[in-house]
């Protein structure tokens, strides 16, 4: 990783100086690139057992994707939608899904655009928002359904729901970023963009989203979502998304509860029995 970062910093450092607009475009493409990881055996078994269906989603003006969806449980029971994180897949949420089915829930999961079996290899917040919207429009959920999301998926969920009028019961965010602007600043520093190229990158992103980057945050988006309760679960020592993100989302939000863990990891938490049980308890309680 250190060697890769050094190469990126040299490349984008030079390109930022001689052609900042081109550096912005190149970095924008890199930012959206998905690393498609091999499906693990425990994830593969989920894909084989779940009921599979596809939903067509218009991701952008010139981009359409068939969203792979998976359903478990009795279709007549209360609906819980699960949304995975960046560089992951629906199977990563399968242990949570299985527990919720045991608790009598209907569970629907899906692969975000550019992930898992998608023909595409890149995506962004806007495209993922459009995919979530397409899946929900297909499901036509009655009021009172819930959503459980992980990492980047939590930002997608907050953004998508803020642009729709669905009535939800509960939300669970298994870690979350908060301010999109902070993600871009970290990316700028990681690849070595200079300020001119970075401003050009922000303009590309803002033109894509149709709103300024500094206005896009999970906390702000939640104010536009109709939901009853929110459970935030975060490892205090999370090395991928800092714990402060959940503190910021909880701050001033009377509907939010923060459950703090230590040393459950960012990804391993999805297979942690205590985390899974807490999800089930929260969704079952009035």
How confident is the model over 120-165, as pLDDT tens digits?
A: 999 999 999 999 999 999 999 987 899 999 999 999 999 999 999 9
**C-alpha triplet 83, 140, 228: angle, nearest 5°:** 65
Task: With a cut of 90, say whether residue 2 has pLDDT above it.
Answer: no
Mean pLDDT of all residues belonging to the chain: 95
**C-alpha triplet 33, 1, 156: angle, nearest 5°:** 35
For the residues 49-56, what does the mean pLDDT come to?
Answer: 97
Domain 42-178+217-284 is classified in which CATH homologous superfamily? Alpha/Beta hydrolase fold, catalytic domain (3.40.50.1820)
Q: How many CB atoms lie within 10 A of CB 234?
A: 26
Q: What band does 247 get if pLDDT is binned at 50, 70 and 90? A: very high
Task: With a cut of 90, say whether residue 237 has pLDDT above it.
Answer: yes
pLDDT value, residue 168 = 97
Each residue of 149-158: pLDDT tens digit? 999 999 999 9
**What sign for the dihedral angle of Cα 169, 221, 149, 232?**
negative
Task: With a cut of 90, say whether residue 25 has pLDDT above it.
Answer: yes
* Strand order from edge to edge, sheet including 51-60: 51-60, 63-72, 106-110, 79-83, 145-150, 168-174, 229-235, 256-261
Q: What percent of the chain has pLDDT over 90?
A: 91
Task: With a cut of 90, say whether residue 221 has pLDDT above it.
Answer: yes
Q: What are phi and psi of 248, to 5 degrees?
A: -65, -40
Q: SS3 of 121, please?
A: coil
Task: With a cut of 90, say whether residue 61 has pLDDT above it.
Answer: no
Q: What band does 270 get if pLDDT is binned at 50, 70 and 90? A: very high
Task: Provide the token pair at 136.
Answer: 């929900």
C-beta separation of 87 from 37 below 8 A: yes
For the residues 110-116, what does the mean pLDDT come to?
Answer: 97
Q: Who wins on pLDDT, 285 or 102?
A: 102
pLDDT value, residue 286 = 77
Kindly list the domain boundaries of the chain, sorted by start residue: 1-33+180-214, 42-178+217-284
Distances (CA, A) of 234 to 6, 47, 150, 255: 31, 27, 10, 17
pLDDT value, residue 1 = 61
pLDDT value, residue 89 = 98
């Amino acid at each position: 990783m250190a060697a890769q970062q050094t190469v990126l910093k040299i490349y984008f450092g030079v390109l930022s100086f001689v052609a900042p607009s081109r550096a912005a475009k190149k970095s924008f493409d890199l930012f959206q690139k998905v690393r498609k990881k091999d499906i693990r055996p425990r994830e593969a078994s989920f894909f084989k057992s779940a009921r599979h269906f596809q939903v067509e989603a218009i991701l952008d003006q010139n981009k359409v994707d068939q969203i792979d969806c998976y359903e478990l449980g009795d279709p007549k029971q209360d609906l819980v939608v699960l949304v995975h994180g960046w560089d992951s897949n629906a199977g990563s949420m399968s242990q949570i899904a299985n527990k919720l089915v045991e608790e009598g829930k209907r569970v629907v999961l899906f692969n975000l655009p550019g992930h898992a079996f998608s023909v595409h290899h890149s995506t962004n917040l806007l495209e993922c928002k459009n995919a979530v919207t397409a899946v929900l429009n297909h499901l036509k959920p009655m009021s009172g359904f819930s959503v459980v999301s992980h990492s980047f998926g939590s930002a997608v969920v907050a953004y998508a729901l803020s642009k729709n009028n669905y009535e939800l019961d509960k939300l669970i965010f298994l870690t979350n970023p908060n301010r999109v602007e902070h993600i871009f600043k970290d990316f700028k520093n990681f690849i070595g963009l200079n300020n001119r190229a970075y401003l050009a990158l922000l303009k590309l992103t803002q033109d894509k989203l149709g709103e300024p980057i500094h206005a896009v945050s999970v906390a702000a988006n939640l104010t536009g979502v109709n939901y009853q309760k929110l459970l935030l679960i975060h490892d205090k020592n999370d090395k991928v998304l800092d714990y402060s993100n959940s503190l910021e989302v909880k701050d001033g939000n009377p509907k939010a509860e923060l459950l703090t863990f230590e040393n459950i990891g960012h990804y391993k938490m999805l297979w942690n029995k205590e985390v899974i049980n807490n999800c089930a308890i929260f969704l079952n309680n009035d």
